[in-house]
């Protein structure tokens, strides 16, 4: 992912990590989900691809926006680039209220 610079880890799950990244070309911040799909079962791979399809189809001011998805064959990783929510996730917002 030569186009992005990792700033920090902002989340982690079973199959993925989410990073705050900066795009080198313009300095904008994004969230980047890195999924190691090479080691996933077929059903989990299908679910990851369906997630990307769903994210790409949604256009709402109330949902974090999808930007692009990139598959890197050498590492068998799927990278999903999304808007960066500087205020944190929904659970953090609920707790702060």
pLDDT at position 87 is 82
Q: How far is it, in rounded angstroms, from Cα 6 to Cα 9?
A: 8
pLDDT at position 38 is 85
DSSP code of residue 14: S
pLDDT tens figures, 43-70: 999 999 999 999 999 999 888 899 999 9
Which percentage of the chain shows pLDDT scores above 90? 70
pLDDT at position 18 is 95
Question: Could you tell me where the beta strands, DSSP code E, fall in the chain?
Answer: 4-12, 16-23, 29-36, 66-72, 77-83
Q: Could you tell me which residues come within 8 angstroms of residue 40 by beta carbon, excluding any fewer than 6 positions away?
A: 15, 48
Model pTM score: 0.86
pLDDT at position 20 is 97
Q: How far is it, in rounded angstroms, from Cα 34 to Cα 71?
A: 10
DSSP code of residue 65: P
Count of CB atoms within 10 A of residue 47's CB? 12
Residue 2 has pLDDT above 90, yes or no: no
Confidence of residue 17 (pLDDT cuts 50, 70, 90): very high
pLDDT at position 27 is 95
């Amino acid at each position: 992912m030569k186009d992005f610079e990792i700033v920090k880890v902002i989340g982690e799950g079973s199959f993925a990590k989410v990073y705050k990244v900066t795009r080198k070309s313009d300095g904008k911040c994004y969230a980047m989900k890195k999924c190691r799909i090479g080691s996933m079962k077929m059903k989990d791979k299908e679910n990851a691809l369906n997630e990307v399809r769903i994210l790409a189809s949604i256009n709402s001011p109330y949902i974090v926006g999808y930007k692009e998805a990139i598959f890197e064959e050498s590492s068998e990783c799927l990278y999903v680039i999304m808007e960066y929510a500087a205020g944190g996730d929904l659970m953090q917002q609920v707790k702060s209220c």
